C-alpha cells in the first residue's frame, strides 16, 4: 500500500520535492512507497516535471481528499497556507512544511490543533534549508541542558555581508548586484531587515528551550545600516560582521528569561561562525555536557530544501508503517509546549558593543567619553582613533560585557557633549 501525499505548491522547493520522490533509485527504499496523489498550483498553464494528471488548482480539494495521508505545504507566506494547514489537520492529515513565517507566527494555533487531532507537523526545511537542525535539536541533542543556539540563518544577507567585506563596497551597491544575480529577491525586505532570520530563531528557540516564542517580541535589526567604514574598522579590530540570530539563556541562574534577538554582530575572526561565508548557513549549538556543535551547509535552494522536506515525509511514513494511524504522538517528533517563554528585555541583555563616534579633534574628547561610560558602569575594552571624516576625528570604542540599558544611557549623555558631532554606528559584539 502506498502512502499518499498532497503537495501544496510546485515552485522551486515543490518541484525539488517531487523530483526526489519520483526518482527513488539509490535513496532510502521507503521512498518507493510514497505516491504524489495531487499537486496543487496557482496557475495550471506552466510546464511541470510531475505527471499532469495529478496537477490541480483546487488546493482545498487536496486538504480534504480522504485518501491523502500527508499534506506537504510549500506555498510560503501566511495565507492561504495557515488556513489550508488547519483544514488539513482538522481532516486528520499529517503536515510537512517549509514555511517558517506561518509557523513562527501561527505555530501556537497550528500545534494546538495538531496535538488535538493527533497528527504531526514537521518542519525540518523551515530553518537552514538542507541542514538538519530541527530533528537534531529535538532528538539527538535533547538530553543536553542547552545554553545557546546562535545561527547565520539567512543566506541573502550573508552573501551581501561577505561581498561587502571582500570588495569594500557599501550595502546598496552589493544588494543591487545580488538582485541582478538572483541571490536577493526584488523585494529584499524580509531578508535584509532580519525578519526571515527572526522567524527562524523563533522556531529554533522554541524547540531548544521548550517554550513557545511570541515572534513580535523578538528585537530585530537588519543590515541596511552596515557600511564599508564599519566593516573596515571591524577588520582592523579582529572581527567580521555577520547577521546573527541568537537564542540563549542568561548567565544568572535566578533569571529564567530567554534572550532571543537578531542583529548584525561583530564576530571575532577565530570564532567558528566567522568563516561562514556567501549564501551558506550555520548554526552553533552549545549545551551541557556536550559543549559546542556546529551545523553547516546550504541554507536554501531547491535540492537542499527538498532533501529536508522529503526526510520529514519519510519520518511520518516510517511511523505510519510501524504503528498504523496511531493517535498517540511520539513526543520526540510532536510539539509538547504548553506555555510561552518569557523573553529578556533588551535593556537587561549583557553583551559587548562597538560604537563609532565622529567628534571634534580637540584635547579631552576621549577623556569625556571615558567619564560618561564610567558613570554608567560601562567598562571599555578598547578605544582607537584612526581616521578622519573631513575635519572630524573618528573614534571607535569596543566595550566589555555591559547591560544594554546602561550602554544606551551612556550614549544619551555622550550625545549631549559639545565635542561629539554624531554616533554613526552602534553594533553588538559577540
Query: Toward ligand HSE, which CB reaches closer, 40 or 299?
Result: 299
The CB-of-290 to ligand HSE minimum distance in angstroms stands at 26
**Measured distance CA(228)–CA(173) in Å, rounded:** 11
Nearer to ligand HSE, 222 or 287 (CB): 222
CB of 121 to ligand HSE, least distance (A): 18
Instruction: Find the shortest distance in angstroms from Cβ 199 to ligand HSE.
Output: 9
188 in contact with ligand HSE (CB under 6 A): no
Residue 196 touching ligand HSE (CB under 6 A): yes
Could you identify the residue written with the cell 533509485? 25
- Per-residue binding string, ligand HSE, 293-322, x by CB under 6 A, is ------xx----------------------
User: Is 32 tagged catalytic?
Assistant: no
What distance in Å separates the CA atoms of residue 299 and residue 305, rounded to the nearest whole number? Answer: 8
Is 154 among the residues that bind ligand HSE (CB under 6 A)? yes
Question: What DSSP character marks residue 326?
Answer: -
Catalytic residue among 163, 200, 242, 360: 200
Q: Is 130 in the site for ligand HSE (CB under 6 A)?
A: no
Gap between the Cα atoms of 30 and 100, Å rounded = 27
Q: At 417, give phi and psi (nearest 5°).
A: -70, 135
| Region from 37-45, 154-162, 288-296, 345-353 binding ligand HSE, contact rule CB under 6 A | 154-162
Q: How far apart are CA 116 and CA 8, in angstroms?
A: 23
C-alpha cell belonging to residue 93: 492529515
Distances (CA, A) of 168 to 171, 270, 287: 10, 21, 37
Residue 177: Cβ-neighbour burial (10 angstroms; 0-12, 13-18, 19+): middle
Please provide residue 47's backbone torsions phi and psi, each rounded to the nearest 5 degrees. -70, 140
Residue 245 pairs in a beta bridge with 151, 262
Using rule CB under 6 A, residue 199 touches ligand HSE: no
Window of 18-26, 48-56, 148-156, 210-218 that interacts with ligand HSE by CB under 6 A? 148-156
| Alpha-helical runs (H) found in 248-323 | 302-323
Beta-bridge mates of residue 266: 241, 429
Integer Cα distance of 53 and 387 in angstroms? 67
Of 29-37, 152-160, 308-316, 421-429, the window that binds ligand HSE (rule: CB under 6 A) is 152-160
Query: Which residues have a Cβ under 8 Å from the Cβ of 310 and sit 6 or more positions away?
Result: 17, 20, 21, 31
Per DSSP, helices labelled H in 67-188 are 81-90, 100-117, 134-135, 155-167, 171-180
Query: Quick one: which segment of 67-75, 136-144, 149-157, 322-330 binds ligand HSE (CB under 6 A)?
Result: 149-157
Nearer to ligand HSE, 311 or 351 (CB): 311
Q: Report strand pairing: 121-122 vs 94-97.
A: parallel
Which residue's CB is nearer to ligand HSE, number 272 or number 298? Answer: 298
Least gap, CB of 207 to ligand HSE (angstroms) = 17
Based on the shown chain and the rule CB under 6 A, indicate whether residue 191 belongs to the binding site for ligand HSE: yes
Residues in the interface with ligand HSE (CB under 6 A) total: 7
Nearer Cβ to ligand HSE (121/402): 121
Q: How far is the CB of 285 from ligand HSE (least distance, A)?
A: 19
What is the C-alpha to C-alpha distance for residues 146 and 157, in angstroms, rounded to an integer?
A: 27
162 is an interface residue for ligand HSE by CB under 6 A:
no
User: Would you say 156 or 315 has its CB closer to ligand HSE?
Assistant: 156
What Å distances lie between residue 59 and 12, 73, 183, 310, CA to CA? 18, 10, 29, 20
List, in sequence order, every residue forming a beta bridge with 402; answer none if it has no partner: 351
Could you say whether residue 155 binds ligand HSE (CB under 6 A)?
yes
Q: How far apart are CB 299 and ligand HSE at their closest, in Å?
A: 5
Question: Nearer Cβ to ligand HSE, position 38 or 154?
Answer: 154
Segment 241 to 280, residues that bind ligand HSE, using CB under 6 A: none
Q: Does 221 sit near ligand HSE (CB under 6 A)?
A: no
Neighbours of 322 (CB within 10 A): 8
Closest approach of Cβ 159 to ligand HSE, in Å?
A: 8
Q: Is 156 in the site for ligand HSE (CB under 6 A)?
A: yes
Residue closer to ligand HSE, measured from CB, 222 or 299: 299
Cell of 365: 574628547
Q: Please state the closest distance from residue 156 (CB atom) to ligand HSE, in A.
A: 3
Q: Which positions lie near ligand HSE, rule CB under 6 A?
A: 154-156, 191, 196, 299-300
As annotated, the active-site residues are 200
Amino acid at each position: 500500500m502506498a502512502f499518499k501525499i498532497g503537495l501544496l505548491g510546485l515552485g522551486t522547493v515543490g518541484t525539488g520535492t517531487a523530483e526526489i520522490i519520483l526518482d527513488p533509485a539509490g535513496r532510502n527504499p521507503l521512498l518507493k512507497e510514497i505516491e504524489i496523489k495531487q499537486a496543487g498550483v496557482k496557475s495550471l498553464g506552466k510546464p511541470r516535471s510531475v505527471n499532469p494528471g495529478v496537477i490541480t488548482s483546487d488546493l482545498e480539494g487536496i486538504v480534504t481528499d480522504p485518501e491523502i495521508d500527508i499534506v506537504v505545504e510549500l506555498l510560503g507566506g501566511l495565507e492561504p497556507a495557515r488556513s489550508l494547514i488547519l483544514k488539513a489537520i482538522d481532516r486528520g492529515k499529517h503536515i510537512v512544511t517549509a514555511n517558517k513565517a506561518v509557523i513562527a507566527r501561527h505555530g501556537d494555533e497550528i500545534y494546538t490543533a495538531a496535538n488535538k487531532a493527533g497528527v504531526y507537523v514537521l518542519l525540518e526545511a523551515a530553518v537552514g534549508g538542507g541542514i538538519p537542525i530541527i530533528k537534531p535539536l529535538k532528538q539527538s541533542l535533547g538530553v543536553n541542558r542547552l545554553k545557546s543556539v546562535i545561527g547565520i540563518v539567512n543566506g541573502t544577507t550573508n552573501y551581501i555581508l561577505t561581498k561587502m567585506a571582500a570588495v569594500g563596497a557599501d550595502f546598496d551597491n552589493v544588494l543591487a548586484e545580488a538582485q541582478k544575480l538572483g541571490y536577493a529577491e526584488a523585494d529584499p525586505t524580509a531578508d535584509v531587515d532580519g525578519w526571515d532570520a527572526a522567524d527562524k530563531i523563533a522556531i529554533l528557540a522554541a524547540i531548544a528551550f521548550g517554550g513557545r516564542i511570541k515572534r513580535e517580541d523578538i528585537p530585530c535589526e537588519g543590515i541596511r545600516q552596515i557600511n564599508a567604514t564599519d566593516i573596515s574598522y571591524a577588520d582592523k579590530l579582529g572581527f567580521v560582521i555577520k547577521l546573527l540570530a541568537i537564542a540563549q539563556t542568561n548567565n544568572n541562574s535566578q533569571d529564567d528569561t530567554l534572550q532571543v534577538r537578531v542583529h548584525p554582530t561583530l564576530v571575532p575572526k577565530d570564532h567558528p561562525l566567522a568563516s561562514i561565508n556567501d549564501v551558506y548557513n550555520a548554526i552553533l549549538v552549545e549545551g551541557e555536557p556536550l559543549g559546542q556543535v556546529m551545523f553547516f551547509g546550504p541554507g536554501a535552494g531547491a535540492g537542499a530544501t527538498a532533501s529536508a522536506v522529503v526526510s520529514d515525509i519519510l519520518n511520518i511514513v516510517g511511523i505510519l508503517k510501524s504503528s498504523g494511524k496511531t493517535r498517540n504522538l511520539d513526543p520526540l517528533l510532536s510539539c509538547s509546549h504548553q506555555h510561552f517563554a518569557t523573553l529578556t528585555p533588551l535593556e537587561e541583555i549583557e553583551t559587548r558593543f562597538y560604537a563609532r563616534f565622529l567628534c571634534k579633534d580637540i584635547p579631552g574628547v576621549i577623556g569625556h567619553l571615558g567619564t560618561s561610560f564610567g558613570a554608567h558602569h560601562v567598562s571599555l575594552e578598547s578605544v582607537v582613533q584612526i581616521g578622519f571624516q573631513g575635519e572630524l576625528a573618528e573614534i571607535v570604542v569596543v566595550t566589555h560585557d555591559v547591560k544594554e540599558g546602561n550602554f544606551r544611557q551612556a550614549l544619551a549623555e555622550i550625545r549631549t557633549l559639545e565635542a561629539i558631532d554624531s554616533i554613526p554606528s552602534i553594533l553588538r559584539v559577540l
